[in-house]
Amino acid sequence: MNRGKVVSFRGSVIDVQFSQQLPKLYSQLRAGEDGRVVIEVVEQRDAETVRGIALTPVAGLARGSPAIATNQPLQVPVGQRLLGRVLNVFGETVDRKEPIVGGEWRSLHRAPVPLSQRSTLSEVLETGIKAIDLLAPLERGGKAGLFGGAGVGKTVLIAETIHNMASGYEGIGIFCGIGERNREAEELYREMQAAGVLDNTIMVFGQMDEPPGARFRVGHAALTMAEYFRDDAKRDVLLLIDNIFRFIQAGQEVSGLMGRLPSRVGYQPTLLTDLAEFEERISSTATGAITSIQAVYVPADDFTDPAAVQTFGHLSSSIVLSRKRASEGFYPAVDLLRSSSKMLTPTVVGNRHYQIAREVRRTLATYEQLKDIIAMLGIEELSQSDRQMVDRARKLERFLTQPFFSTEQFTGKSGKLVSLEATISGCESILNDEFVRFSERSLYMIGAIDEAGVQGA
């Protein structure tokens, strides 16, 4: 066995000296008397010394401690056996159930699919959620950013998307928690279990109290599991990441500990490369696709921050959740004017979808401008055409609400999965004043437009 010894360490950065063969980059070392400290080699310092990042706590480690080169990269298990399980960056179970042993294990470090093998078609992935499918459609094999604070329904939206993916597409949901708080992870697990979506989901966590190396690599672990289902099982995968900014932060911590010269605003000089290596593995092929929804935190609401700028460059859709809409009872609390998608063009979604989405957005924007006048003078002071516009906008707002399967036990309303065609037809009917005699209440929390009962007339 190739044995070495620890010669220095600073935080999670450890230098190990080997008298024999030098370990390869990204290979795994085991340090300490019992080999419990896992180190990933990230730099070869000289002919005898490598520098690595510890992925486990280094308490008890000292200079002169033994280290063993495993000559293997970090690996995680893959396959159907992972469904319903909760894992860490090493593929170890953390749900107090039997451990996963044997079977196929794959390296965390895999090359993205070559351009020649990628799907060149721009396809829309229907979620069954009206507000998203109409105004911010997701790209199959693309990346969507989910912007929202605490308490606006982000977790509910994630659970519902996984449910619809599993039932409508027979796909797999993988939730990756990067820098998650223990409380958030435990609550999400219970909510997914109660909603009945856990059996089609894999959960991978690099929690907030873990070393930055583990938080930096947990996203790659989830991607490796997702790639198995796309490439080997030929299934679509929905990869949910919370939070992509914490992935960048973990890389920043690692870079600082390694003594690299910081870039703008203190970020690591390899920010662009680190993020691109991660995001480029999310793609679609002829047999399957990995579609990702990523929670994005914008530091101090500064959209010129390097982390935000680099992340936005990879996204094809932006879904903004509004606390104001949540307080008004509009669920899902998607901000209908601020949410957008690069897929919303006539060549991709078709001219009918594009024109109706534009008209819906124009109607809602006009209503937003008229709200101050209505608040000061009353709706009676508006012109007849403006009053009609307000009526359409209020009905559209209510029609784009929807009962979720994941909240049935709380609301008492059965969940609805609405097709894109039904959503477009419903909005078209409202814009054409076909429901002018119906009350707004009859359109609230329904599925397709034909569920608006005549009792609302």
Residue 180 is among the residues annotated as catalytic for this protein: yes
Task: Count, in order, helices (H) and strands (E) of the chain.
Answer: 13, 18
Q: How far apart are CA 159 and CA 334, in angstroms?
A: 15
Residue 181 is among the residues annotated as catalytic for this protein: yes
Out of 181, 190, 260, 352, which one is annotated catalytic?
Answer: 181
Task: Please classify residue 33 by burial: count the beta carbons closer than 10 Å to its beta carbon, then call 0-12 exposed, 13-18 middle and 19+ buried.
Answer: exposed
> Which tokens go with 68?
């063993």
In sequence order, the β-bridge partners of residue 295 are 146
Out of 126, 160, 180, 227, which one is annotated catalytic?
Answer: 180
Q: Provide the sign of the torsion angle of the four alpha carbons 165, 171, 177, 181, taken in this order.
A: positive
Whether a cis peptide bond, with omega within 30° of 0, leads into 299 is no
In sequence order, the β-bridge partners of residue 240 are 175, 293
Q: What is the pairing mode between strands 143-147 and 317-320?
A: parallel
HSE (CB half, 13 Å, CA atoms) of 30?
11
Contact criterion met (CB below 8 Å) for 179 and 207: yes
Residue 381 is among the residues annotated as catalytic for this protein: no
Torsion of CA 346, 113, 215, 314, to 10 degrees: -30
Out of 130, 143, 154, 416, which one is annotated catalytic?
Answer: 154
Catalytic residues: 154, 180-181
